[in-house]
Amino acid sequence: MTAHNSFVLQSSGLSMSFGAFKVLEDINLDVTQGEIVGVLGPNGAGKTTFMNLLTGAYRPTHGRVNLMGRDVTGLPTAKRCHAGLGRTHQVPRPFGGMTVFENVLVAARQGNVSHGGDPVQLAWRVLEQTGLADVANRLARTLGLLDRKRLELSRALATDPQVLLLDEIGGGLTLTEGDHLIELIQSIHGQGVTIIWIEHIMRMLLGSCTRLICMAGGQIIADGAPRDVIEAPVVQSAYFGVAA
Amino acid sequence: MSHPVPLNVTRGSTTAHVTFLLLALAALGLAALPWISGAGGSGRAVALLVYILLAVMWNALAGFAGLVSIGQTLFFGVAAYVTIRLSNAGVDPYLAVILAIVSGAVLGWLTSLFMLSLKDGEFAIGMWVLSSLAHLCVNLDPLIQGETGTSLIALNAYDIETRNTFTLWVALAVTVVILAALVVLLRSGTGAAITALRDDEIGARSIGIDVMRTKRIVFVLAATGTAAAGALWLASNTTFQPRAYFGVHWTAYMLFMVLVGGLGRVEGALIGALVFFLIETLFGAYGAWYLVGLGGIAVVCALFFPNGLWGLIGPKLPSDPIPTGYKISKIHDASWEEI
Ligand SMILES: Nc1ncnc2c1ncn2[C@@H]1O[C@H](COP(=O)(O)OP(=O)(O)OP(=O)(O)O)[C@@H](O)[C@H]1O
Ligand SMILES: [Mg+2]
């Protein structure tokens, strides 16, 4: 398979099994520079597993991953991060014994290897952007869930990603908070970052995505313009339980 | 890029300055010990320094890199053996101590090449196997004569007063250099990666931390410091019987000091070493009961103070005594705020 430069991220025939349990089967997805791809799908559909294959947290049983036209299937997570792939975790993974600022600073130092600039400045700007500057000196373990999710996002941003994978960062937000998050994601997108965003909250995906895919049972069952995907009968039945 | 944000970054505090002063005074006090107490005092002081090295290094390995080793005696024993061997070949015993420390670093790097890919339990046991293997090999050396052992006879070239004093100073200098290296490392960019690794390894990978490289740095440092402890223990006790260096009791001591003091904090390891030293000094003569007592204290600590003594003391202090982090704030232009 030849890599096209216009695709920043490509998944070709990705499959994943845990023992005899098939979680993903033959996932093909080509993401173009500048897209915001929403990923929707019922619990257990394999969305997080797909993300783990893209970042290299898991090795796929079959298939390949291309990042910026380069085959990264054999690269460890840290190297993919250096190559421009950032991610947030569905269950936040703060460095609890470090402050919020230190969490972001270490990401700016270790993840942002090629782009230069003062990591202290970068880390601070990110915190101002994500709204965590006020709690910069707090130990990360003292944060509540919402701030932990913001910290996930801040750390990923500090690595200066070209492609950003978001795994359910919008859950549990009030309407206003949700609107702020959409604004934030649009401003990140405005800086030229391509985004893949797993979320259960339809309103948020519709409010920001340029493209939507729906996963169910370890496969992509729909892929296209957000409205079309939501109205597709397969999606209606898989996701909303409406008989097709 | 836009203008830099005016930021105020601090990396120390009054608590840290006071701690630094106290530690410097303690080091000076130890250095002056030969004039204060007699020859016996120097030997005990070296023991304290050796415990400190062992605790701080085991803590760096287990508490920061998440590498629980029950075979750090590999580095402790081999360093003592290398010292004996070099000195037997005509090298000045103190130079031999320094060379043994360097050999500990090399051995650490070599072992890291294959040990670090092992998982938790495998790594712990694997280190113990390596240590036992080294123990057996050392026993085969005709100079050592199995468990009979030998002595660092070259030290007899110095009269006992000079020797004790000099050993203490070398021990003090080595300990200060290694602890300083650890603190400098922990305050560096790599140190932040080490701390991140301690808190969440998967999260660390996701932000681009090379976990293997980071663990290797800690592992080699721990090997070096533990080797230093072994060589210094030999210089202070002069006799080398393999079992007294490769014995599993050292592993128990390292665990005790770190668990009682507090895992994952340099301050905790220091306190653990001090507590162990005091207990040994006061009750060491009671033999088996002393060991039972140590075990009892470890169990009580594990049950009631899971974060060790540091978990009790640390939060009561205004800030970290050995700070590795950052305090940051934005500098607001005062003239603006007046308006
Ligand atoms: N490490 C693992 N070992 C075994 N099974 C796993 C593992 N990780 C995920 N699974 C299984 O794979 C399936 C897909 O899980 P995944 O977390 O990818 O779903 P998801 O779409 O992200 O769901 P959710 O919306 O609940 O987050 C689930 O049945 C899960 O139990
Ligand atoms: Mg998930």
Q: What is the pLDDT of residues B42-70, one digit of tens each?
A: 899 999 999 999 999 999 999 988 899 99
Q: Which of B196, B205, B210 sits opposite A106 (nearest CB)?
A: B196
Residue, of A140 and A2, whose pLDDT is higher = A140
Angle B63-B65-B71 (CA atoms, 0-180°, nearest 5)? 80
8 Å CB contact between A185 and A195: yes
Answer yes or no: is pLDDT of A2 > 70: no
Answer yes or no: is pLDDT of A1 > 80: no
**pLDDT value, residue B260:** 94
Number of separate helices (H) and strands (E) present in chain B: 16, 4
Answer yes or no: is pLDDT of A3 > 50: no
Q: Element (H or E) spanning A47, and its range? A: helix A47-55
**pLDDT value, residue A212:** 96
Cβ-based contacts of A55 with chain B (< 8 Å): 206
Residue window 77-106, chain B: list those with CB within 8 Å of chain A.
none
Q: What is the pLDDT of residues A17-66, one digit of tens each?
A: 999 999 999 999 999 999 999 999 999 999 999 999 999 999 999 999 99
Most confident of A85-89, A235-239, B161-165, B327-331: A85-89
Cα first-last separation, chain A: 36
ipTM score here?
0.92
* A-chain residue closest to B194, CA distance: A106
Strand residue runs (E) in chain B: 7-10, 150-151, 239-240, 327-330
Answer yes or no: is pLDDT of A156 > 70: yes
Start-end of CATH 3.40.50.300 domains in chain A: 1-84+161-244
Q: What is the pLDDT of residues B108-129, one digit of tens each?
A: 999 999 999 998 899 999 999 9
Atom of ligand 1 nearest to the CA of A52: 18
Cβ-based contacts of B8 with chain A (< 8 Å): none
**pLDDT value, residue A158:** 96
Q: Which of A81, A118, A133 sits opposite B207 (nearest CB)?
A: A81
Cβ-based contacts of B199 with chain A (< 8 Å): 94-98
Among A16, A18, A88, name the best residue to mutate to test ligand 1's pocket (greatest count of ligand atoms within 8 A of Cβ).
Answer: A18
Model confidence at B338, in pLDDT bands (50, 70, 90)?
A: very low
Q: Is there an atom of ligand 1 within 6 Å of A176 CB?
A: no
> How confident is the model over B311-317, as a mean pLDDT?
91
Distance CA B179, CA B172 (A): 11
Strand residue runs (E) in chain A: 7-18, 21-32, 36-40, 62-67, 70-71, 85-87, 163-167, 194-198, 211-216, 219-224
8 Å CB contact between B195 and A98: yes
Domain B7-334, architecture per CATH: Orthogonal Bundle (1.10)
**pLDDT value, residue B324:** 86
Q: Is there an atom of ligand 1 within 6 Å of A232 CB?
A: no
Answer yes or no: is pLDDT of B137 > 90: yes
**pLDDT value, residue B39:** 63
**pLDDT value, residue A5:** 56
Tell me if chain B has a CB within 8 Å of the CB of A47. Answer: no
Phi then psi for A168, rounded to 5 degrees?
A: 50, 65
Cβ-based contacts of B326 with chain A (< 8 Å): 99, 101-102, 105
Answer yes or no: is pLDDT of B212 > 50: yes
**pLDDT value, residue B325:** 87
8 Å CB contact between A140 and A100: yes
Which CATH superfamily, name and number, covers A1-84+161-244? Answer: P-loop containing nucleotide triphosphate hydrolases (3.40.50.300)
Q: What Rg value do the Cα atoms of chain B yield, rounded?
A: 22
Model confidence at B2, in pLDDT bands (50, 70, 90)?
A: low
Domain parsing of chain B, residue ranges? 7-334
Kindly report the average pLDDT of chain A as a whole number: 92
Number of separate helices (H) and strands (E) present in chain A: 9, 10
**pLDDT value, residue A243:** 54
Q: What is the pLDDT of residues B7-35, one digit of tens each?
A: 988 888 899 999 999 999 999 999 999 88
Model confidence at B41, in pLDDT bands (50, 70, 90)?
A: confident
**pLDDT value, residue B40:** 74
**pLDDT value, residue A4:** 47
- Quick one: what percent of chain A has pLDDT higher than 70? 96
Q: What is the pLDDT of residues A198-243, one digit of tens each?
A: 999 888 898 889 999 999 999 999 999 999 999 898 888 887 776 5
